[in-house]
């Protein structure tokens, strides 16, 4: 029987990525980052689109070569249709459409967030474990913090979401106040390993239900630093590691508090995490520890699949292709949405 071979393309923000998956097994996953934004302290959309234009042909070519796959053998091309930066999404979308027309193979559009949630189904080897439905996914990234009950690949119920900032924004904005480069999350992670997480206390939200809020923490962090610096200008410099560790611990406590409530209210036996913030060592350890304590199965993604990558787009595309959910050529990217 012929294999189902999917080429995935991801271009929603500032990483150009292409991956090849055959019958659910990952054959290649190539990611080209964009250094051009570093000096601006954030992603510049216009520059991101241009860098995607430069990267997309070599990235796709390399992914196919590494996979040992001839483009004429592709069963479908999956691409990220949103959410993300429109100019960036247009590059991947247009490329996928052009390639599909040239090869006469179908295209499937993928919701980036759905890709994160389904990234746990990427297998490197036949025996790799994948989650059973239903499972609870804590999706934490620069733009989203959501608790999702995943009932099937395309039946996802959002149980809670942030009402203001996302967890990644809390990391990045607080890191900025500390004078760290963008994105600050990985820097906080690194510094936190050396610090005392109990040294400083920051405000925690009192939001009802399963929703999150991180703006109060951000404000409390900002005021603590502002007041301290008034009497001691070297305060931040001297307390870098303690501030990072205390901030990280507070974010983890906020995340785990609602995760615990969601586990108890749904009765799930499997918990997964995904999105850029799931690369954080503290978050990974805390979720693993929580699952061990409550006898739950934990799915912690390899770091390669936590940030933007095309492997998750290809696996989501694989599920969609199985259900023959194709994309029309007149479909356009969307900048905003949660999981549909």
Binding residues for ligand KG4 (CB under 6 A) = 13, 141-143, 168, 171-172, 183-186, 188-189, 275-277, 279-280, 307-308
Tell me the closest approach of the beta carbon of residue 193 to ligand KG4, in angstroms: 11
Tell me the closest approach of the beta carbon of residue 218 to ligand KG4, in angstroms: 13
Tell me the closest approach of the beta carbon of residue 226 to ligand KG4, in angstroms: 22
Q: How far is 209 from 166, CA to CA, in rounded Å?
A: 17
CA angle 142, 195, 308 (to 5 degrees): 20
Distance of CA 98 to the CA centre of its chain: 27
CA atoms 64, 30, 140, 130: torsion sign: positive
Tell me the closest approach of the beta carbon of residue 255 to ligand KG4, in angstroms: 11
8 vs 276, which CB is nearer to ligand KG4? 276
158 vs 229, which CB is nearer to ligand KG4? 158
Tell me the closest approach of the beta carbon of residue 144 to ligand KG4, in angstroms: 7
Tell me the closest approach of the beta carbon of residue 259 to ligand KG4, in angstroms: 16
Q: Dihedrals φ, ψ of 294, to 5°?
A: -105, 15
- The CB-side HSE value for 340 (13 A sphere, CA atoms) comes to 10
Tell me the closest approach of the beta carbon of residue 265 to ligand KG4, in angstroms: 26
63 vs 170, which CB is nearer to ligand KG4? 170
The token duo for 333 is 């990217």
Q: How far is 91 from 81, CA to CA, in rounded Å?
A: 10
303 vs 325, which CB is nearer to ligand KG4? 303
75 vs 213, which CB is nearer to ligand KG4? 213
8 vs 142, which CB is nearer to ligand KG4? 142
Taking each helix axis from N to C terminus, what angle separates 235-266 and 215-231, rounded to the nearest 10 degrees? Answer: 160
Tell me the closest approach of the beta carbon of residue 34 to ligand KG4, in angstroms: 13
- Position closest to ligand KG4 via CB: 276
224 vs 248, which CB is nearer to ligand KG4? 248
82 vs 184, which CB is nearer to ligand KG4? 184
């Amino acid at each position: 029987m012929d294999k189902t071979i999917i080429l995935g393309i991801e271009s929603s923000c500032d990483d150009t990525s292409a991956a090849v998956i055959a019958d659910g097994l990952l054959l290649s996953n190539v990611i080209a980052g964009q250094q051009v934004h570093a000096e601006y302290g954030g992603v510049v959309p216009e520059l991101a689109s241009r860098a995607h234009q430069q990267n997309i042909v070599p990235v796709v070519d390399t992914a196919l070569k590494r996979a040992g796959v001839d483009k004429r053998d592709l069963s479908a091309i999956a691409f990220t249709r949103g959410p993300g930066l429109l100019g960036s999404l247009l590059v991947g979308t247009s490329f996928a459409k052009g390639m599909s027309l040239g090869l006469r193979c179908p295209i499937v559009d993928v919701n980036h967030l759905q890709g994160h949630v389904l990234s746990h189904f990427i297998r490197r080897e036949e025996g790799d474990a994948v989650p059973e439905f239903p499972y609870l996914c804590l999706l934490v990234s620069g733009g989203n913090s959501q608790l999702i009950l995943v009932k099937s690949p395309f039946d996802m119920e959002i149980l809670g979401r942030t009402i203001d900032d996302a967890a990644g924004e809390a990391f990045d904005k607080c890191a900025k106040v500390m004078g760290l480069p963008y994105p600050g999350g990985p820097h906080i992670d690194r510094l936190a390993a050396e610090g005392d997480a109990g040294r400083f206390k920051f405000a925690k939200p009192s939001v009802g239900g399963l929703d999150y809020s991180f703006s109060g923490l951000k404000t409390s962090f900002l005021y603590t630093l502002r007041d301290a610096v008034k009497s001691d200008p070297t305060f931040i410099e001297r307390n870098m590691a303690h501030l990072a560790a205390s901030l990280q611990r507070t974010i983890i406590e906020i995340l785990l508090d609602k995760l615990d409530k969601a586990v108890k209210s749904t009765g799930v036996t499997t918990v997964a995490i995904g999105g850029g913030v799931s690369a954080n060592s503290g978050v990974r350890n805390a979720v693993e520890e929580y699952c061990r304590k409550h006898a739950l199965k934990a799915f912690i993604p390899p770091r390669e699949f936590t940030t933007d990558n095309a492997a998750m787009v290809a696996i989501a595309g694989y599920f969609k292709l199985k259900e023959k959910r194709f994309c029309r050529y007149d479909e356009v990217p969307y900048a905003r949405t949660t999981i549909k």
